[in-house]
Every structure is written in structure tokens, then in C-alpha cells.
């Protein structure tokens, strides 16, 4: 067989690989373009920061722009903030483009702007801390006698977590040592929903036995008897945001299959308001930071209620099939209230409320206006992005899933929306205008839930195919595959401080993952 060319030697192979590597790097910025004028604007207030600055095009990448902006704002070396830059055209179409790597490839090369123009860049600060991708299973804790149906981390820290299970108990876990702390016994049927109060003191559980129960998170004791009133099982729970609570009188909303939502006074254990109006099972309830309650239902509608009076404000209609899940852009700040990454907790109650309000307003302010966006996932394979404050009409329709969309979440910095569908895909969308960004492919079973890390740079998804997968949001690639569960993973949560991921599913074991 003299005609056969011998296989390449190792030296030849390394040469080819080297060449291929170098060829990829050639995509660079031409250095004969001179400079371009850049004007920075603050996304939150919409006001200009500093004068327009002339920047050499060859050097106009995100890193250098960050340094420049930090200098313009007079930030010291130790308080430098990473920024995300968005270009917004001043024309009617008002399109917004994120600057991914540099100005040349994002704006100049596609011909959106030339070097003659002044480019207006809006900046938003990114999280100053960085969450590492979880990579290993720190603990697999047996204890529950049936499948785990819901899980939630405490907003205070990543060291406690609560899970609700089919064995009609909820359990509180010490995640640092991987041991059970308390068993919350009392329900007579499956525990379908669990929720920590924003200050982390009370745990609420909703069950198949039509009741809601409250527990002391520290001691693991029941706070009074069951809250009875619903005629069918509880599907979802939402606490009143910390800054909106009357002092010493927190409230809790529970959604039920019996198509009502009940708002409970947690201290007196009485029904405060009953929100009835839906014609089908209420699947999800969310309590917004501006005194509104959002509910989604099987009757294809989303309703917006006033949390004070309990009156219906709006009905959002667009979906063609049952609405499965809702997410607010402010979910993360509302859930964590005054707990931030510095872990400094104010002493006095009044300070806590101020801190929580300040945090909420800081996160939700865009162009001097507090904006709370809402995204809804439905069985009609689509999602809608809403701005209930300004309009009854959706901002955008998010098309792309090929089966029912089960779960949807906003990233903590509100820049992204992630949706998990039964078509085995997780999709990432722009949180501002609902534009499609990328699809995370890799699961081979329906994806049940997903959760962002606190710095919005990573996403974890749980699936029927028994795995968890961690995705890198920026690159759209798989960051980490986490096999280990022996059966479907029903619930996953990323702790608000980013340290740990907790998951549970049909194999009855709670798993805690860390980096």
C-alpha cells in the first residue's frame, strides 16, 4: 500500500495545531482607525458622566473603558467597579447593543457608528464579587423518606437550607457540616412549597393538605397551628418584601389550586385578604417591591393586585395556554432584603428597612424610574415580558422553545432571563428587551428548574436526566456537569451569597454542591 500517506508525526501535528491557534487570534482591530469620542451615561439615572472622551479605537475594549470610567468617577484603586456597557442609539428605533469585547467589533465594524460620531455608552455596574462555579458534591444527605419537591436557601447565609418533601415533612439542613438541623413535622401530606422570610427568621411551608404552616427558622419549632382556608393544595408562596412590611406585621401570600390567593397576617395567623378572580388553579404568586401582587394561573391570565386593599389592578392577557411560572426582575433583591455580599447587617430594625429599601431602589432604578419587569412562562411554548407599571401590553414575546416552558428566572442584575423548558433546553434572553441570546444545550431530559448565581455570571439547571449543569452565561457554554443524583432532580437553589448549590429530587437525597 505505497499509495497511503503515512499519518502525520507528532511534530507535524503540533505545528498544525499551533497554526490553527494563531489563525484564530488574527481577528484583531486595525490600528489605522484613529480615535473615537465616547460619552458615558449612567443607566440608572440617564445622566451624563464626565465629558465626552476621545479613545483610540485600537484600545477601546471593555477592560480599558472600565478603567477609564473608574478614573472619570474618581474611584480609588481598591474600589474599582467592573461595568457592563450598552450602546443605545438616539434614533427612533432606540435599539440597544451590549458591548461584548470592544467598540470596533460591536459598533464600528457592523457600520452602526463611525469614528466621526460621538458614541453614547450606558454603563451599569456589575457585581464586584465573583461566584465560582460549583464543581463537586460536598454532601449527599439522606433523611427524607420520599422525593424532595422544593428547596430554598436562607437569605442570611449559605449555611442553612430548607427542603420540602413527599414524606410530609420539611427539613432544615446545616450546609456547612452536611447534617440535618431540624425536622419540621406537622403537615399531613406532601410539602410542595417552602419559603424563607426576607429576614430569614421564619420558614413558611405550603402543602398538599391545603394548609400553610409557619416555623421558627432558628429553633425549628412550629409557630402556631396550620393556616387553614384553602380548599385545595398550595402551589406557591411569597413573602411581603421587607421594606414594604408594616413593622412587626409581616405578611405572606399563598397561591392554591382552588384558584384563590390568600394573604395571611403572619403574627395573628389570620387571613388578611383573599384575592379571588382567577378561574383556574393559581400556579405562581410573586410579591413585588412596589406593593403589588402578581399571580399567574391556569386560566391563561396574569393578574396584578394591590397588596394593601386587595383590589385587582390589571389583568394581563396574551398567553394561549396555562401560565406556569412568573419571575420579577427584582426577585433577588426582594428575597435577600438587607443581606448583601458584604454580610454587614444593620443593627436597628429601622436601619434594616432603610437598607432593604435602598437596595431595592438601587437595583430597580432605570433612568430615574423604578421599573419592575415581569416575565411569564407558559404551556403555549412562549414567554412574555411585561412592564405592568406602564402598559397592559407585553414588551416582548419570547419565542423559541419547542415544548412547554416550566420555569423562568431573572438574573440578579436584571440583565438576563433564563428559561427552562420540557424540550431539554435552557434558553437565555436579554432582560431588557427580551431578545434571544443563546441556548444552553446539554440536558437529555426535560429541564425542571434553573437558578442564577448572585453575580449573574453563572446559571445552574436541574433536569429529569438526573444531572445538574452549570452554565457560563457570557460564553453560553457548559461550565460544569454535576452528575450524582440517582433520579430526576426536582428542585435546585443557589445560595444568595453564591457559596453553595442545593438540590433534591426523586432519589430522596439532598445534595449540596460547592466549588
Partner 1 sequence: MYIERWQKQHGKRLDHDERVRKRQAREAHQQSKDAQNLRGLRAKLYQQKRHAEKIQMRKRIKAQEEKNVKSSAPDEPSKTPLPQYLLDRSQATNAKALSSAIKDKRKEQAAKFAVPLPKVKGISEEEMFKVVNTGKKTHKKSWKRMITKPTFVGNDFTRVNPKRERFIRPMGLRYKKANVTHPELGVTVQLPIISVKKNPQNPLYTSLGVLTKGTIVEVNVSELGLVTTSGRVVWGKYAQISNNPENDGCVNAVLLV
Q: What is d(CA 304, CA 292) in angstroms, rounded to the nearest whole number?
A: 7
Q: What is d(CA 493, CA 485) in angstroms, rounded to the nearest whole number?
A: 15
SS3 243: helix
Which 85-104 residues touch partner 1, going by CB under 8 A?
A: none
Tell the smallest beta-carbon distance from residue 183 to partner 1 (Å): 17
Task: Label residues 320-335 b or e (16+ Cβ within 10 Å = b).
Answer: eebbbbbbbbbbbbbb
Q: Which of 122, 416, 490, 513 binds partner 1 (CB under 8 A)?
A: 490
Q: Which is nearer to partner 1, 291 or 484 (CB)?
A: 484
Cross-strand partners of 449: 462
Whole-angstrom CA distances from 221 to 170, 180, 196, 210, 217 are: 12, 14, 14, 20, 8
For position 136 contacting partner 1 by CB under 8 A, the verdict is: no
Q: Which is nearer to partner 1, 289 or 505 (CB)?
A: 505
For position 319 contacting partner 1 by CB under 8 A, the verdict is: no
For position 146 contacting partner 1 by CB under 8 A, the verdict is: yes
For position 513 contacting partner 1 by CB under 8 A, the verdict is: no
Maximal CA-CA distance, the chain: 92
For position 236 contacting partner 1 by CB under 8 A, the verdict is: yes
For position 190 contacting partner 1 by CB under 8 A, the verdict is: yes
Map grid coordinates 455580599 to a residue: 341
SS3 330: coil
Candidates 122-130, 305-313, 395-403, 485-493: pick the segment binding partner 1 (CB under 8 A).
485-493
Q: Which of 297, 461, 467, 495 binds partner 1 (CB under 8 A)?
A: 467
Candidates 52-60, 63-71, 123-131, 476-484: pick the segment binding partner 1 (CB under 8 A).
476-484
Candidates 59-67, 72-80, 186-194, 357-365: pick the segment binding partner 1 (CB under 8 A).
186-194
Tell the smallest beta-carbon distance from residue 172 to partner 1 (Å): 19
What DSSP assignment string belongs to 454-482?
Answer: TTSSEEEEEETTS-EEEEETTTTEEEEEE
CA angle 443, 446, 449 (to 5 degrees): 90
Which 36-95 residues touch partner 1, going by CB under 8 A?
A: none
Tell the smallest beta-carbon distance from residue 300 to partner 1 (Å): 14
On the 0-12 / 13-18 / 19+ scale of CB atoms within 10 A, 37 is middle
Q: Which of 292, 464, 500, 511 binds partner 1 (CB under 8 A)?
A: 464
Closest CA to 216 of 199, 229, 238: 199
For position 444 contacting partner 1 by CB under 8 A, the verdict is: yes
Q: Which of 235, 330, 419, 456 binds partner 1 (CB under 8 A)?
A: 235
For position 491 contacting partner 1 by CB under 8 A, the verdict is: yes
SS3 331: helix
Which 355-414 residues touch partner 1, going by CB under 8 A?
A: 406-407
Binding mask 241-280 for partner 1 (x = CB under 8 A): ----------------x-----------------------
Q: Which is nearer to partner 1, 232 or 435 (CB)?
A: 232
Q: Residue 47: count other Cβ atoms within 10 Å of its Cβ.
A: 9
User: Which residues are CB-neighbours of 141 under 8 A, at least 6 positions away?
Assistant: 173, 178, 179, 180, 509, 510, 511, 512
Which residues of the chain form contacts with partner 1 (CB under 8 A)?
A: 146-147, 149-150, 165-167, 190, 192-193, 208, 233, 235-236, 257, 281, 283, 298, 324-325, 406-407, 444-445, 448, 464-467, 481-484, 486-487, 490-491, 506
Amino acid at each position: 500500500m505505497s499509495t497511503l500517506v503515512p499519518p502525520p508525526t507528532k511534530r507535524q501535528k503540533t505545528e498544525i495545531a499551533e497554526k490553527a491557534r494563531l489563525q484564530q487570534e488574527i481577528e484583531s482591530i486595525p490600528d489605522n482607525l484613529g480615535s473615537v469620542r465616547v460619552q458615558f451615561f449612567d443607566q440608572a439615572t440617564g445622566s451624563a458622566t464626565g465629558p465626552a472622551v476621545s479613545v483610540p479605537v485600537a484600545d477601546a475594549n471593555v477592560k480599558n473603558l472600565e478603567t477609564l470610567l473608574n478614573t472619570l468617577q474618581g474611584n480609588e484603586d481598591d474600589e474599582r467597579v467592573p461595568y457592563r456597557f450598552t450602546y443605545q442609539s438616539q434614533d427612533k428605533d432606540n435599539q440597544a447593543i451590549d458591548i461584548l469585547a470592544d467598540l470596533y467589533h460591536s459598533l464600528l465594524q457592523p457600520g452602526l457608528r463611525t469614528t466621526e460620531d460621538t458614541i453614547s455608552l450606558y454603563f451599569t455596574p456589575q457585581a464586584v464579587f465573583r461566584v465560582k462555579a460549583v464543581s463537586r458534591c460536598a454532601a449527599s444527605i439522606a433523611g427524607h423518606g420520599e422525593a424532595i419537591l422544593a428547596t430554598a436557601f436562607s437569605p442570611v447565609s449559605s449555611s442553612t437550607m430548607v427542603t420540602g418533601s413527599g414524606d410530609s415533612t420539611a427539613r432544615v439542613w446545616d450546609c456547612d457540616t452536611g447534617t440535618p438541623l431540624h425536622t419540621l413535622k406537622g403537615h399531613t401530606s406532601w410539602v410542595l412549597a417552602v419559603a424563607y422570610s426576607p429576614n430569614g427568621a421564619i420558614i413558611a411551608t405550603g402543602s398538599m393538605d391545603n394548609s400553610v404552616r409557619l416555623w421558627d427558622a432558628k429553633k425549628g419549632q412550629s409557630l402556631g397551628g396550620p393556616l387553614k382556608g384553602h380548599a385545595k393544595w398550595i402551589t406557591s408562596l411569597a413573602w411581603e418584601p421587607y421594606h414594604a412590611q408594616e413593622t412587626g406585621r409581616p405578611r405572606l401570600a399563598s397561591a392554591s389550586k382552588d384558584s384563590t390567593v390568600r394573604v395571611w397576617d403572619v403574627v395573628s395567623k389570620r387571613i388578611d385578604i383573599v384575592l379571588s378572580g382567577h378561574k383556574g388553579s393559581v400556579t405562581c404568586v410573586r410579591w413585588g417591591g412596589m406593593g403589588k401582587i402578581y399571580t399567574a394561573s391556569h386560566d391563561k391570565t396574569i393578574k396584578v393586585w394591590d397588596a394593601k386593599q386587595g383590589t385587582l389592578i390589571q389583568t394581563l392577557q396574551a398567553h394561549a395556554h396555562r401560565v406556569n411560572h412568573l419571575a420579577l426582575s427584582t426577585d433577588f433583591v426582594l428575597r435577600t432584603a438587607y443581606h448583601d455580599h458584604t454580610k454587614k447587617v444593620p443593627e436597628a430594625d429601622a436601619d434594616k428597612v432603610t437598607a432593604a429599601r435602598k437596595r431595592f431602589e438601587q437595583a430597580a432604578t432605570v433612568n430615574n424610574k423604578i421599573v419592575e419587569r415581569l416575565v411569564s412562562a407558559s404551556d403555549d411554548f412562549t414567554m412574555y415580558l411585561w412592564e405592568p407599571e406602564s402598559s397592559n401590553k407585553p414588551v416582548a414575546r419570547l419565542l423559541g422553545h419547542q415544548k412547554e416552558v416550566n420555569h423562568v428566572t431573572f438574573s440578579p442584575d436584571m440583565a438576563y432571563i433564563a428559561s427552562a423548558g420540557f424540550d431539554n433546553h435552557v434558553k437565555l434572553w436579554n432582560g431588557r428587551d427580551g431578545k434571544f441570546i443563546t441556548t444552553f444545550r446539554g440536558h437529555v431530559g426535560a429541564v425542571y428548574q434553573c437558578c442564577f448565581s448572585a453575580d449573574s455570571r453563572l446559571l445552574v439547571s436541574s433536569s429529569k436526566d438526573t444531572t445538574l449543569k452549570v452554565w457560563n452565561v457570557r460564553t453560553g457554554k457548559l461550565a460544569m456537569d454535576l452528575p450524582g443524583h440517582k433520579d430526576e432532580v426536582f428542585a435546585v437553589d443557589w445560595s444568595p451569597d453564591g457559596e453553595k448549590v442545593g438540590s433534591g429530587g426523586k432519589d430522596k437525597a439532598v445534595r449540596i454542591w460547592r466549588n
